[in-house]
Amino acid sequence: MQIAACRLQLAECGVPAEGRKSAVCKPQSAIPGGVRASAVVLSYNKREYTRRCLQSVAATDFGGLEIIVIDQGSADGTREWLQVFAAECAGRGLPVRLILNERNVGACTGRNQGIAAASGRFLAFLDNDVVVADRSWLSRLTTRLEAQADAGIVTAKLVYPDPPHRIQFAGCAVSPGGRILYLGRGEARDDPRFNEERELQCAISACIVVKREVIERVGGFDEAFNPVQYEDLDLCYRARAAGYRVRYFPGVEALHYENVTTDGSPDLNFRYLTIKHGLLFKERWRHMFAHEGGPDDREAHWKTIDRPRLPPDG
């Protein structure tokens, strides 16, 4: 299912694919000047992570924000909390839309449901294990996109939540053979090598902002990559193939617990999906990454790091 199909379903009956009726807690016209940016967040159980993420997003100083949450069939009290959160936000004029799927329809389909429901000029995609501590994060990231006409996607620096807050992600690099390297992974937070704004080959979707015009031109997340893995890298390459640039802006940091959104999903075989979708990514984009001067294949490997976790929800 692609964005047009998601949009048609939402427009006709308010029911997302495989889902229940969406809940809109405040009309979009309630925002003076209208919606300028839409924050799209996926959730699947993990209530405490989702709570921290959404409360940090809602605390932004950005004028003209709407929040769209796509819940993928949570059964741990997340949905009940989301209803309370949406009502609280409505009380202060922040529109929140809940798209409640009966089951996990995959990250690509879920995000495309969010895109179809969104009305902002900018689309911010966040995983539910991300916390944005700086209230100006969205203002600063959208400003970076507005400052450069050909900039289509911008990512923040992601750091681990526990001190000393080492870098989890400072952009993605792709080797000539198609291997993926997370730049800066495990390095010191203030390492000067990762404190400079730069152009990237691609970025993960844990905390990115995308111009709507990019989505309108190249499409949303390709559902060939459902349920997960490589869908965000593919979007970046499609944007770049259309003439847009992907940027890294370390002036905004976000805390990232990493892989919580899909952690504990018994129906996901990550090794299989990584191989399968990695082959699809390579087949599509080898003509680009093979000649981009990325890292050596031997350098591009996954660096295993102990990831912090919150206590189980009580």
pLDDT at 306 over 80: no
Q: Identify whether 311 is part of a domain.
A: no
Which tens digit of pLDDT belongs to each residue from 240-253?
999 999 999 999 99
pLDDT score, position 133: 87
What is the pTM (predicted TM-score) of this model?
Answer: 0.89
Q: pLDDT band at residue 305, thresholds of 50, 70 and 90?
A: confident
Per the listing, tokens 């919580």 go with: 260
The percent of residues in the chain predicted with pLDDT above 90, rounded, is: 79
pLDDT at 12 over 50: no
Q: pLDDT band at residue 260, thresholds of 50, 70 and 90?
A: confident
| CA end-to-end distance (rounded Å), the chain | 36
DSSP, res 23? E
**Residue 94 DSSP SS3:** coil
CATH number at residue 200: 3.90.550.10
Which tens digit of pLDDT belongs to each residue from 129-185?
999 989 999 999 999 999 999 999 999 999 999 999 999 999 999 999 999 999 999
d(CA 47, CA 117): 23
pLDDT at 211 over 80: yes
Q: Identify whether 298 is part of a domain.
A: no
Which tens digit of pLDDT belongs to each residue from 60-85?
999 999 999 999 999 999 999 999 99
pLDDT at 32 over 80: no
Q: Identify whether 312 is part of a domain.
A: no
Q: Identify whether 313 is part of a domain.
A: no
Q: Identify whether 70 is part of a domain.
A: yes
Structural contact between residues 109 and 223, judged by C-beta atoms closer than 8 angstroms: yes
CA distances to 48, 107, 109, 223 from 268, in Å? 22, 12, 16, 16
Q: pLDDT band at residue 24, thresholds of 50, 70 and 90?
A: very low
Q: Identify whether 150 is part of a domain.
A: yes
Count of the separate structural domains present in the chain: 1
d(CA 235, CA 229): 12
Q: Identify whether 66 is part of a domain.
A: yes
**Mean pLDDT of the chain, nearest integer:** 89
CA distances to 126, 199, 263 from 259, in Å? 12, 25, 6
Burial letters 168-186, b for 16+ CB under 10 A, else e: bbbbbbbbbebbbbbbbbe
pLDDT score, position 199: 98
Q: Identify whether 310 is part of a domain.
A: no
**What would the two tokens of residue 179 be?**
């291997």
Rg, the chain, Cα only: 18
What domain range is 32 assigned to? 3-289
Q: pLDDT band at residue 267, thresholds of 50, 70 and 90?
A: low
